[in-house]
Amino acid sequence: MKVCIIGAGAIGGLIGTRLAAAGTADVSAIARGPTLSALRQQGWRMVSDGELLQAPAHAHEDAHAPGPQDLVVIAVKGPALPSVVRGIAPLLGRETVVLPAMNGVPWWFGQGVDALGPAPLESVDPGGRISAAVPLARVLGCVVHASASVAEPGLVTRHMGNGLIVGEPGGGVSARARAVADLLADAGFDARASDDIRQDLWYKLWGNLTINPISAFTGATTDRVLDDPLVREFCSSAMREASELGARIGCAIAQSPEDRHQVTRRLGSFKSSMLQDAEAGRPLELDAIVGAVREMAQRVGLATPSIDALLGLARLFGRMRGLYPDAAPEPSASAPR
């Protein structure tokens, strides 16, 4: 299988290194700048449990170089996605599968959900340009249950978790979902094919919706966020709103917010991905993690005062530091209800 990784950062580097080291796929990467140089000079590199895993890398700046692929893994931050899909066409053959290993609500999430209407989610797919470049038929959904960081360009450190869930956006387990899950499992991941990837995505988002932005604008690790009873109740209030939204779009959650907080506590004290981005001066993924949730709630006529406040505070923080656009348009609420 020919596999191309777009975005050889933390998660892209984790997936690329393991696939290349396993030798079960022909793995290439699209990268730029110092990451491209590091991959060409030192190959794929990952530190996990104190051990260095290394493998040769075929890295390119131009997507024409590797040509059409069997599988394209998109592992970039949400703000970079529009520029990525503008150049993705050379990688796409007739049967190419696209696997977005990204945070939050993916661009395709609203497609086929009657309650959300036919219009693309403007917060994550403005003007439908991403859907046009990567049609739903090409997509396999992906949920990443792993934490990693980039120690230096081209060198990834895995911290915790080893899970990857893949599945068809429309539900059910297909042959191609099983094939991709098997490929990832053979490379050392705890990978499985899901028959309801939307539910899996929504459950992860339900936990990240509050912890990520609150940790970013307070600078607090996850344990400190949950230790403050007022902040924890604010998280729970936003999660109750998101739970009601999930029930309306076919992604009901049986747990209570307190149940989910206990899951988070068992992970220990750590910096969320959005806090790491804020500290590094990288753009914040607010649109995919919070903005899209608010947009969907507006479309189904659900009031979300806690989510609204969360988005307002987080984006103001981002704007004051140049990490979120000043002129971000309000999501449209005009879709049929």
CATH number of the domain encompassing residue 238: 1.10.1040.10
Q: Is the Cβ–Cβ distance between 96 and 71 less than 8 Å?
A: yes
Q: Cα–Cα distance between 62 and 30 in angstroms, integer?
A: 7
Instruction: Specify if 135 maps to a domain.
Output: yes
| Burial classification of residue 248, based on how many CB atoms lie within 10 Å of its CB (0-12 exposed, 13-18 middle, 19 or more buried) | middle
Instruction: Specify if 325 maps to a domain.
Output: no
Phi then psi for 58, rounded to 5 degrees? -110, 100
Q: pLDDT for 122-133, tens place per residue? A: 999 999 999 999
Q: Where among 177, 195, 213 does a domain terminate?
A: 195
Instruction: Specify if 331 maps to a domain.
Output: no
Q: Cα–Cα distance between 231 and 261 in angstroms, integer?
A: 12
Q: Is residue 203 located within the same domain as residue 149?
A: no
Q: Is residue 160 located within the same domain as residue 236?
A: no
CA 183 to chain centre: 20
Q: Is residue 78 located within the same domain as residue 154?
A: yes
Instruction: Specify if 168 maps to a domain.
Output: yes
Q: Is the Cβ–Cβ distance between 231 and 214 less than 8 Å?
A: yes
Q: Cα–Cα distance between 229 and 233 in angstroms, integer?
A: 6
Residue 59, both tokens:
């890295």
For the chain, how many structural domains are there in total? Answer: 2
Among the listed residues 305, 295, 311, the one whose alpha carbon sits nearest the alpha carbon of residue 113: 295
Q: Cα–Cα distance between 49 and 253 in angstroms, integer?
A: 33
Q: What angle do CA 242, 219, 143 make, to 5 degrees?
A: 45
pLDDT in tens, the chain (337 residues): 999 999 999 999 999 999 999 999 999 999 999 999 999 999 999 999 999 999 999 999 999 999 999 999 999 999 999 999 999 999 999 999 999 999 999 999 999 999 999 999 999 999 999 999 999 999 999 999 999 999 899 999 999 899 999 999 999 999 999 999 999 999 999 999 999 999 999 999 999 999 999 999 999 999 999 999 999 999 999 999 999 999 999 999 999 999 999 999 998 898 999 999 999 999 999 999 999 999 999 999 999 999 999 999 999 999 999 999 996 445 444 443 3
Neighbours of 312 (CB within 10 A): 12
User: Could you tell me what percentage of the chain is helix, strand and coil, using 3-state DSSP and rounding each to the nearest 5?
Assistant: 45, 20, 35
Q: Is residue 284 located within the same domain as residue 311?
A: yes
Instruction: Specify if 235 maps to a domain.
Output: yes
Q: Is residue 237 located within the same domain as residue 186?
A: no
Q: pLDDT for 270-327, tens place per residue? A: 899 999 999 999 999 999 999 999 999 999 999 999 999 999 999 999 999 999 999 6
Q: Where among 195, 221, 244 does a domain terminate?
A: 195
Q: Is residue 89 located within the same domain as residue 188?
A: yes
pLDDT at position 206 is 96
Q: What is the pTM of this model?
A: 0.92
Q: What is the CATH number of the domain that holds 120?
A: 3.40.50.720
Catalytic: which of 2, 77, 204, 271? 204
204 classed as catalytic: yes
pLDDT at position 151 is 87
Instruction: Specify if 269 maps to a domain.
Output: yes
Query: The domain containing residue 240 runs over which residues?
Result: 199-320
